Amino acid sequence: MKHNGDKYKQTFDCWVHFVSMIFCQPPHANSLRKICGDLKICGGNLNHPGVETVPGKSNLSYANRHIDTEIFKALFFMLLDHCKTVAPNHEFVFKRKLYSLDATLWLSAM
């Protein structure tokens, strides 16, 4: 993989890290305890996006410290390019700053 996102993999991969962080954005989970608790409540529903086991707080904390945020930036632009392909007449404008899932990177308005 280009960004070597699974270099520091312990018990889960970069995809599980991404799903864990994106899943808890709508309810505004602001702590690892809340994120892990909410994920455990979902149980089997996480199988659909490919998460078989819920990461623990310490493992999620480790991933937040060690996985390069560039992988999430690249994912954003890949999805944006896909959206532009699917809806070429739609103008994708972001009026506010965009923050990454762990708030370590922001992208200014495009």
Quickly state the pLDDT bin for 9 (edges 50, 70, 90).
low
At residue 47, the pLDDT reads: 78
Domain coordinates in residue numbering, the chain:
14-66, 70-107
Pairing of strands 106-107, 98-99: antiparallel
Judge contact between 92 and 80, C-beta under 8 A: yes
Judge contact between 22 and 101, C-beta under 8 A: yes
Number of helices (H), then strands (E), belonging to the chain: the values are: 4, 2
Greater confidence (97 vs 20) lies with 20
Q: What is the pLDDT of residues 34-80, one digit of tens each?
A: 888 888 887 777 777 778 888 888 888 888 888 777 887 888 888 88
pTM equals 0.59
Q: What is the pLDDT of residues 13-33, one digit of tens each?
A: 878 888 888 777 777 777 888
